[in-house]
Amino acid sequence: RTAHLTLDPAFTVGDTTPRLFGSFVEHLGRCVYTGIFEPTHPTADADGIRQDVLDLVRELGVTTIRYPGGNFVSGYKWEDSVGPADDRPRRLDLAWHSTETNRFGLSEYIGFLRKIGPQAEPMMAVNLGTRGVAEALELQEYANHREGTALSDLRVSHGDKDPFGIRLWCLGNEMDGPWQTGHKTAEEYGRVAAETARAMRQADPGVELVACGSSGQGMPTFAEWEATVLKETYDLVDYVSLHAYYWPEDGDIDSFLASAVDMESFIENVVATADHVGALLKSKKRINLSFDEWNVWYQSEWEARAKTFAQDDWPEAPRLLEDHYSVTDAVVFGSLLIALLRHADRVTVACLAQLVNVIAPIMTEPGGPAWRQTTFFPFAQAARHGQGRVLDVRVDSPTYETKKYGEADLLHATAVRGEDGTVTVFAVNRSRTEALPLEVTLNGLDLASVVEHSVLSDSDPDARNTLDDPDRVKPHAAEGTTLTGGTLTATLEPLSWNVIRLA
Ligand code: AHR
């Protein structure tokens, strides 16, 4: 059976923000150390930043980069991470059972962003686990105040004359999770988040603030948590956060391929909850969504590994969460990107967790090369061609049966119209065995030709890029895609991620 899409510029979801293509650098495993920062690496610059990684980060096209956690932030003492590197204390990182050297800190993070280029924007989290309002204000003053106060002058004395200009701030991380250091009830968190937000706005009314939502739609407190937190913080914050990770539970690949069904319902449920609170408060303000952790993550493997940690072993930058992504993973990942784009009217910040080595599109070897994982390609293509106005596509697709989500569409798709009038269709075929014929009706769009149909697929769905074979998987050109008389015709290979560009 053929899948059909209808595109019409009169029907749109909304405009994307560059922040939709953000990522995340946490002090976790080798994301920072031997990931982006490795002073002894042959490509490292004078600041210890690996240039091979920097090149890949630029190619990936990431914008906003969230920092320094994640679970790590709930024990974070920002003042440990500034000043002369040799004087910085070594600390236990309870979140990841590691030793944090603080060799890379706040100034190095801002320096890294500046090296990436103007598209890179900081998104800083404050610690609301072991700390509170006072420390958040101190960090804000150190980072953003020009000069003439104790903490801004301290920053200047550390060599950073210009303030860091951090606009976007996360009020803690996953405070609903019992694993979080300083975990709180919704009432407790709502209060501290509101007071922190109020104080940070007193210092600078221009900050944009993200309240913690749930760590996943499956959390027992989901929705009640958002409602309670937003009742406390509605007028004080701009965003509520969402986090979601997917993996093939019990080896159920068919459900795994439909993970975006869960992601889309998660988004829609948070929108409904936030708008419900807005209605209760008779507010005209709309809270947007910051999907600031999303990815494929083989979480069960991490949980098994965590149980094996020796209590007295606190390694520096151990190999943690180093998932090696297959073609199947990349197709699911692409579908998650489609889900975000399809909700670009309300999801106005999103961060791929994470950037390097830790569940990441970029991998490195200490002293050795850096390479692209399979998931690198969908992200880079979406970041490059997915900016503009998202069209409200009408999908008519054959379906398949999944254990977790019931009947799911084989086709998952969206389309984005760029400022120059070109249109890019992003599409996933979830069938593991069958090619999917696709017909796209283009109404009211002045498009004459197929610029490119790029596809990521492989005869081996388990194929991946590795240290020994870093270029095993990459997108290739699809054949036979045509555009005639306002109809686009293509064939989507089994288990594939597709980018079809029309001009
Ligand atoms: O991204 C890995 C971890 O996942 C983060 O530290 C935490 O916020 C989430 O549970």
Give 26 Cα–ligand 1 centroid separation in angstroms: 9
Q: In this predicted model, what pLDDT tens digit does every residue of 188-205 receive, in sequence order?
A: 999 999 999 999 999 999
> 136-168 burial by CB neighbour count: b if 16+ within 10 A, else e?
bbbbbbbbbbeeeeebbebbeeeebeebbebbb
Whether the pLDDT of residue 305 is over 90: the answer is: no
Give 70 Cα–ligand 1 centroid separation in angstroms: 5
Residue 116 is encoded by which pair of tokens? 């990436």
Minimal-distance CA residue to ligand 1 atom 8: 70
* Mean pLDDT, residues 161-172 taken together: 98
Q: Please give the pLDDT value at position 24.
A: 98
Question: Measuring CA to CA, which residue among 294, 320, 300 is closest to residue 72?
Answer: 320
Residue 339 DSSP code: H
Crossing angle of helices 376-385 and 51-60, rounded to 10°: 50
Of 173, 210, 302, best ligand 1 pocket probe by most atoms within 8 Å of the beta carbon: 173
Distance CA 220, CA 210 (A): 21
Alpha helices in 117-185 (DSSP H): 133-144, 150-157
pTM: 0.97
Distance CA 331, CA 429 (A): 8
Q: Please give the pLDDT value at position 82.
A: 98
Residue 374 is encoded by which pair of tokens? 């399979």
Work out which ligand 1 atom sits closest to the CA atom of 354. Answer: 1
Q: Please give the pLDDT value at position 69.
A: 96
Which H or E run contains 100?
strand 98-100
Q: Please give the pLDDT value at position 307.
A: 80
Minimal-distance CA residue to ligand 1 atom 3: 70
CB 74 within 8 Å of CB 33: no
Q: Please give the pLDDT value at position 309.
A: 79
* Mean pLDDT, residues 245-251 taken together: 96
* Mean pLDDT, residues 91-108 taken together: 97
Whether the pLDDT of residue 136 is over 90: the answer is: yes
Alpha helices in 45-185 (DSSP H): 51-60, 106-116, 133-144, 150-157
Of 23, 24, 25, 26, best ligand 1 pocket probe by most atoms within 8 Å of the beta carbon: 26
Exposed (0-12), middle (13-18) or buried (19+): which is 310, by Cβ within 10 Å?
exposed
Give 11 Cα–ligand 1 centroid separation in angstroms: 36
* Mean pLDDT, residues 466-489 taken together: 97
Whether the pLDDT of residue 125 is over 90: the answer is: yes
Given the residues 79, 226, 293, 493, the one annotated as active site? 293
Work out which ligand 1 atom sits closest to the CA atom of 215. Answer: 10
Distance CA 465, CA 474 (A): 9
Q: Please give the pLDDT value at position 385.
A: 98
Whether the pLDDT of residue 444 is over 90: the answer is: yes
Distance CA 173, CA 239 (A): 13
Average pLDDT in the chain:
97
Strand ranges in 264-334 using DSSP code E only, listed in sequence order: 288-296
Label residue 300 by pLDDT band (50, 70, 90): confident
Work out which ligand 1 atom sits closest to the CA atom of 24. Answer: 1
Q: In this predicted model, what pLDDT tens digit does every residue of 21-57 receive, in sequence order?
A: 999 999 999 999 999 999 999 999 999 999 999 999 9
3-state secondary structure of 146: coil
Q: What angle do CA 424, 61, 174 make, to 5 degrees?
A: 105
Residue 384 is encoded by which pair of tokens? 């490059």
Give 1 Cα–ligand 1 centroid separation in angstroms: 40
Minimal-distance CA residue to ligand 1 atom 5: 70
pLDDT over 70 percentage in the chain? 100
Minimal-distance CA residue to ligand 1 atom 6: 70
The 3-class secondary structure across 284-335, one letter per residue, is CCCCEEEEEEEEECCHHHHHHHHCCCCCCCCCECCCCCCCCCEHHHHHHHHH
Exposed (0-12), middle (13-18) or buried (19+): which is 119, by Cβ within 10 Å?
middle
Distance CA 312, CA 289 (A): 40
Q: In this predicted model, what pLDDT tens digit does every residue of 386-438 receive, in sequence order?
A: 999 999 998 999 999 999 999 999 999 999 999 999 999 999 999 999 999 99
Residues with CB under 6 A from ligand 1: 26, 69-71, 173-174, 215, 243, 293, 353-354
* Mean pLDDT, residues 352-359 taken together: 98
Given the residues 174, 226, 264, 493, the one annotated as active site? 174
Strand-pair category, 436-442 with 3-7: parallel
CB 449 within 8 Å of CB 29: no
Q: Please give the pLDDT value at position 312.
A: 86
Is residue 195 among the annotated active site residues? Answer: no
Residue 33 is encoded by which pair of tokens? 């150390």
Label residue 304 by pLDDT band (50, 70, 90): confident
Residue 419 is encoded by which pair of tokens? 């400022």
Dihedral of the CA atoms 95, 98, 104, 109 (nearest 10)? -30
Give 120 Cα–ligand 1 centroid separation in angstroms: 21
Work out which ligand 1 atom sits closest to the CA atom of 359. Answer: 1
Crossing angle of helices 376-385 and 327-342, rounded to 10°: 30
Which H or E run contains 377?
helix 376-385
Domains of the chain, each with CATH number or no CATH: 4-8+392-502 (2.60.40.1180), 17-385 (3.20.20.80)
Tell me: cis bond preceding 51? Omega within 30 of 0 counts: no
* Mean pLDDT, residues 216-237 taken together: 98
Is residue 293 among the annotated active site residues? Answer: yes
Q: Please give the pLDDT value at position 201.
A: 98
Give 473 Cα–ligand 1 centroid separation in angstroms: 27
3-state secondary structure of 369: coil
